[in-house]
Amino acid sequence: MEKFDLGVAFVWEYDDYFISLIEEIFQNSGLSTFLVSYYNISEIKGRIISKELSFNFYLDRAWDVEVEFEELGKILAKRKTYIFNPYAKVLHAIDKASMHLEFITAGLHVPHSIIIPPHSEVEDILISVDDLAILGRPFIIKPCNTTGGGIGVVTGAETLKEIIEERITNSDDKYILQEKIYPSFFNGKRAWFRCFWAFGKTIPVWWDDQTHLYTELTQDEIERFRLRKLFHITKIIADITQLDFFSTEIAFTHNEKFVVIDYVNDQCDMRLSSRHFDGVPDNVVRMIITNMLRKVLSIKKLQKNN
């Protein structure tokens, strides 16, 4: 049997440089990598089934795009491959309604919200003027399970009519209505952060919710603006979701509260800022991959000792 340390599945064209960087960092550390994409998924699935090929670890960035990748991942899981972000845990974590309630229970601050059932289950809903008044205007309309790139999200809703129309768009999905959060400013920067949970460690960065541009967050800024709570909040979310790799959005508001905005994003956009103006800083991407490498080496060492 041919065995590789890390298998990586991907289909998004903009993942190319991220995947290349994974291969570079892992191979420079003496670990082997294997790529799975549209061109070889059927062949690889056959080789895995016939036990000609195996992976010790598997990062799947394609299973939510094409069912054949999910089928392969499930086969690998049965073969005791370590799957980063197991599918069942992801499906739980990306449900905004479930996370909203679990975050509150864990003591995290979240926006005032109203959760409404799928249109396919309950056609007519009763939302009072008082309910909308609690949210304020404008408010946010989000599908609970349709995720990625702001798909289906309305950020400036004003009326009940908009809620009714959006529910029909994704009729099988629950919706969450949220108050719009306004951040404070630190030295002219919006106090809005994207925090990556990267294989056991938190990596927070500035992320402007209006321009979608990233800026690295320095240790000096963390201390000067008292932002260490970003690490604590992200760790709580990691404990709740049990995911290896995700991002979350956290804003620091005028009333001095850290509020979790976009709860869990499991397929993080890893376009590099050196290639895309709104990409993740290259140094941060390298840190994320290095954390994955360290986790792989740590688990391999533990398995060897046992």
- Gap between the Cα atoms of 270 and 101, Å rounded: 29
| pLDDT at site 167 | 83
- Gap between the Cα atoms of 251 and 255, Å rounded: 11
pTM: 0.90
Residue keyed to tokens 């106090």:
191
pLDDT at 152 over 90: no
Q: How confident is the model at residue 9 (pLDDT cuts 50, 70, 90)?
A: very high
| pLDDT at site 151 | 57
Is the CB of residue 9 less than 8 Å from the CB of residue 72?
yes
Q: Which amino acid appears at position 117 of this protein?
A: P
pLDDT at 156 over 80: no
What is the average pLDDT across 134-155?
73
Q: Which amino acid appears at position 44 of this protein?
A: I
| pLDDT at site 97 | 86
| pLDDT at site 103 | 97
Q: How confident is the model at residue 30 (pLDDT cuts 50, 70, 90)?
A: very high
pLDDT at 146 over 70: no
- Output 137 or 109, whichever has higher pLDDT: 109
| pLDDT at site 226 | 96
| pLDDT at site 122 | 77
Is the CB of residue 271 less than 8 Å from the CB of residue 19?
no
What is the average pLDDT across 290-300?
96
| pLDDT at site 135 | 84
10 Å CB burial of residue 189 (0-12, 13-18, 19+) is: middle
- Gap between the Cα atoms of 95 and 88, Å rounded: 11
- Gap between the Cα atoms of 132 and 57, Å rounded: 47
What is the average pLDDT across 43-66?
95
pLDDT digits 0-9 by tens, 216-245: 999 999 999 999 999 999 999 999 999 999
| pLDDT at site 147 | 53
pLDDT digits 0-9 by tens, 97-136: 899 999 999 999 999 888 888 878 877 777 777 777 888 8
What is the average pLDDT across 37-51?
95
DSSP assignment, residue 109?
B
| pLDDT at site 129 | 75
pLDDT at 193 over 60: yes
Long-range contacts of 49-54 (CB under 8 A, 24+ apart): 49/75, 51/1, 52/1, 52/2, 53/1, 53/2, 53/3, 53/4, 54/1, 54/2, 54/3, 54/4, 54/79, 54/81
Q: Average pLDDT, whole number, for the chain? A: 91
- Gap between the Cα atoms of 258 and 262, Å rounded: 13
- Gap between the Cα atoms of 14 and 275, Å rounded: 10
Is the CB of residue 197 less than 8 Å from the CB of residue 207?
no
